[in-house]
Structure 1
Amino acid sequence: MQEKVIKIVSDATKVEAGNIKGETNFVDDLNLDSLDMVEMMMKMEEEFGVEIPEDKTEELKTINDVTNFLKSNAN
């Protein structure tokens, strides 16, 4: 699952997937703003079929955070 998350992030940010790790921080390492985050989370929702509440988005700061959230909320 983490590989898919990294692919989505890589496609959204144009950062090479090999440079994105579990601990990569969306704001500090990838310089994403709130609009970028919303768009990326929408792609995650589409890909994994898991709704990510808007207030939860603020808590998801790293690749690991997103992966763990998706795993724990997958059907």
Structure 2
Amino acid sequence: MSDTLDRTAIEKFVTDALVDLGVDREDVLPDAALDDLEIDSLDMVELSQNIKKDLEIPVKPKDFDGIETVGQVLGLCYRKAGLE
């Protein structure tokens, strides 16, 4: 895992990844529902793969089952990265 991986880096990565999936940057807020952002299960698989590959956080697509908000995505990443 990167020595510079912290909450800010994770937040920036997830925000940028969601923007790449078509979400408006200003809509990426912790309480924003993924359904409202039009993020579907395929998008979540892609997001999880990018988090695993680029941030080296050991997540699997199954870890995102039941995740409904941007804040929950971030919380999962923080936990898996050992930041909580």
TM-score, normalised to structure 1's length? 0.78
Any stretches of 5+ residues in structure 1 without a counterpart? none
Q: Would you identify which runs of 4 or more consecutive aligned residues in structure 1 move more than 3 Å?
A: none
Structure 2: runs of 5+ lacking an equivalent: 1-9
More helix by share: 1
Rg bigger for which structure? 2
Per-residue CA distance 1:33-72 (angstroms, 9 max, x = gap)? 2212111211122222112233221122211111111111
Q: Identify which range, 37-46 or 51-60, moves more after superposition.
A: 51-60
Alignment-derived partner of residue 35 in structure 1:
42
Matched, 1:67 2:39: no
TM-score normalized by the length of structure 2 = 0.71
Q: Confirm whether residue 9 of structure 1 aligns to residue 18 of structure 2.
A: yes
- Paired residue type of 2:23: V
Matched length: 73
% identity of equivalent residues: 21
Q: What residue number does 1:46 align with?
A: 53
